[in-house]
Amino acid sequence: MNRILFIFVITSTSGIPDKSCDRIRIGNNWYERETLWSDLGRPYNLNIHRGSNTLFFSYTQPETYSDVDFQLAYYNLDSNDHQNIVGIRGGCAVAINQATDEIYLGGSEGIYKYNMLTKLADFYKEDGVNIWALFYKRNLFYISYPDQKLYIEIDDKFSPVKEFIGMEVDHFHVNKDNDIYFANKTGLYKYDNDNNNIHIVNNLITVRQIVEDIDDNVYICTNLGLFSIKVDELEKVSDMKNVHGLAFDRDNNIVISDEKNIIKLINSKSGCIDDKDHW
């Protein structure tokens, strides 16, 4: 009896790799996955309201993958309460002012503000404008669809960002040092504020999302893996090519999406022996 127990202890701690090891590595850390919501269609635009630890995102119906059939939803990471957000046709865009707890949502007929108490979206501005994306940093920005133009809200009114007139923008981000990154179908760029010109950061990747963790590090979610921005270069932190969206919760835990699922990553002390892409 004692001997059997002894053997069991040895094998379970000897680090022999489990064939089905599905832990994943990002940077120097290993994670286990906890699927929060499955059977969605391409969940994109993951954004977490840190005050309530609530994830907002968009998805399409998995059967059709119709791009006109976007839907917004929320998932509260503390209570696991989750639901579709009703009343926004073609809902696909999210931006959050973390300081004032204002949550902006966009769809094919304008911009809305989410009311945490009623769980309803109240119409905000830009009636009839097809909103592709929203971004908040001191001001609210939106990108229109299908012309991919960037607008900024100043003194209660939206106007085109003049430095970006004539340029297609699919993703827009300003970091804490006021560095401006944007992406379109041809790549990822940095706008140089001082000299008024544009640097190519990478023109091989297709960007799916640009996000910040709670320590203001910028991450780029792409078809070729996850990258972080180090000065003006991209540093690959993961080979996972299926990541559609990425967000960091109140405690800087990572939440990702793949083609169909919203997944929370849980820190794991052990990794897999073969540290190739297990996605």
Ligand X SMILES: *[C@@H]1O[C@H](CO)[C@@H](O)[C@H](O)[C@H]1NC(C)=O
Binding region for ligand X (CB under 6 A): 167-168, 184-186, 189, 198
Minimum distance, C-beta of residue 198 to ligand X, in the bound complex (Å): 5
Closest to ligand X by CB, 35 or 186: 186
CB 148 within 8 A of CB 170: yes
Q: Rounded to the nearest whole angstrom, what is the least distance from the CB of residue 142 to ligand X in the complex?
A: 18
Closest to ligand X by CB, 48 vs 169, is 169
CB of 203 vs ligand X, minimal distance in Å:
9
Which CB sits closer to ligand X, 87 or 187? Answer: 187
Half-sphere exposure of 153 (CA within 13 A, CB side): 16
**Amino acid identity, position 123:** F
Please report how close the Cβ of residue 151 comes to ligand X at its closest, in angstroms.
16
CB of 210 to ligand X, least distance (A): 14
Q: How far apart are CB 168 and ligand X at their closest, in Å?
A: 3
Query: Which of 36, 224 has the CB closer to ligand X?
Result: 224
For residue 72, which amino acid is it? L
- Closest residue to ligand X: CB criterion: 168
Q: How far, in Å, CA of 121 to CA of 87, rounded? A: 7
CB atoms within 10 A of CB 176: 11
Query: SS3 for 163?
Result: helix
**CA-based nearest residue to 171, from 140, 206, 139:** 206
Closest separation between CB of residue 167 and ligand X, Å? 4
Nearer to ligand X, 168 or 212 (CB): 168
Comparing CB distances to ligand X, the nearer of 161 and 256 is 161
Q: Which is nearer to ligand X, 184 or 261 (CB)?
A: 184
Report which of 278, 173, 161, 148 is spatially closest to residue 229, judged by C-alpha positions. 173
Which residues are CB-neighbours of 151 under 8 A, at least 6 positions away? 141, 142, 143, 144, 158, 159, 160, 161
Q: Kindly give, in sequence order, each residue whose CB lies less than 8 Å from that of residue 131, ignoring residues fewer than 6 positions away.
A: 92, 93, 106, 107, 108, 110, 111, 142, 143, 144, 145
Strands 245-248 and 254-257: antiparallel
